[in-house]
Structure formats: C-alpha cells, structure tokens
Amino acid sequence: MAQKLLTKSIITALAKTPYGSEDGVDRDNKKVIARYFGGAAFVCYVLEDDSFFKEYKTDEKTGKTVPTSIEESNIEENMVVFCAQSLGHGLELGGVSLKEVFELRFRPFGLGVERDSSVEPFKYTLGELRKRQGEEWM
C-alpha cells in the first residue's frame, strides 16, 4: 500500500499554524510539521499553513457564508504551505502548493515524493532536522 502523504495529524497541525503565526521565530527554531523528500536532492520542510484563501459554503441554519471545515475542504487541491525547501543547492524559505509537491516525479524512474514518517508534527525544530540531514541555507 502506498504511503499517505497528508495525514490527519499533519492537517490538524496546519490548522493550528495559520499564515504568519510563526513570524518573529528564527528560521532554525521553527517547528517542523512534515518533511517530504524525493529524487537525489529535493527536500521540503513544512512549517505553517500559507493559504491565502479557504473554501466557503453557505450555512444551512443561518444562511451566512462560512469557511468549510478541514474535513470538508479539498485540502490537497488547495493547500499552500510555508516551508524550507531545496533542490540540492541550499534551503530557502517560501510558499509552495502541496498539490504541486505531491505531483513531482524524479528521473530516471519517475519516482514521486515521499513523506519522512519519522517526523511527527512539532517534534523537531528545523535546525535539528537540517543539521541531522547535513543541509545548509542558500
């Protein structure tokens, strides 16, 4: 069976870290939510939700427009995350679409991205994982 790239614990952690919630925290002290890797050099450390839009629905009781819940939204299609990522030339911070990350394929065999199952949300800081993996900043 294929490994699940986006687990309920990752979705819950992203919901707890909305855009800008980690502002002011040194980049190496930011808590990592998930680590994805692939090919010879690709790595992506997910740090917080970076979605500027959410899906909305009309509440049947009140008639008001409200954001959908995490469970109702098509999270893989619409989730943008703030992360530290690299293609082998040093880590840099920025936003990325999870859909695009999950669609990556690497030569020569077309293998996709994998999730590092040893990284649980908020267990490690970016500095701890970066040093463990021998990765440098750009």
User: Which is more confident, 113 or 56?
Assistant: 113
In degrees, to the nearest 5, what angle opens at C-alpha 123 toward C-alphas 82 and 36?
45
Q: What is the pTM of this model?
A: 0.82
Q: How many CB atoms lie within 10 A of CB 124?
A: 17
Report the pLDDT value the prediction gives residue 75, as an integer from 0 to 100: 57
Map residue 112 onto helix, strand or coil: coil
| Token pair for 1 | 């069976």
E-assigned strands of the chain? 34-38, 42-49, 56-58, 65-67, 80-86, 92-97, 114-115
| Widest pairwise Cα distance in the chain | 54
Residue 132 has pLDDT above 60, yes or no: yes
Report the pLDDT value the prediction gives residue 19, as an integer from 0 to 100: 79
Q: Could you report the per-residue pLDDT of 66-110, keeping only the tens digit for each?
A: 556 555 455 556 688 999 999 999 999 999 999 899 999 999 899
> What are 95-101's contacts with CB under 8 Å, separation 24+?
95/50, 96/44, 98/6, 101/36, 101/44
Residue 1: pLDDT band by 50, 70, 90 thresholds?
very low
Cα 71 to chain centroid distance, Å, stands at 17
User: Which is more confident, 24 or 68?
Assistant: 24
Q: Could you report the per-residue pLDDT of 30-55, keeping only the tens digit for each?
A: 999 999 999 989 999 999 988 754 55
Asked whether 82 and 47 are in contact (CB, 8 A), the reply is yes
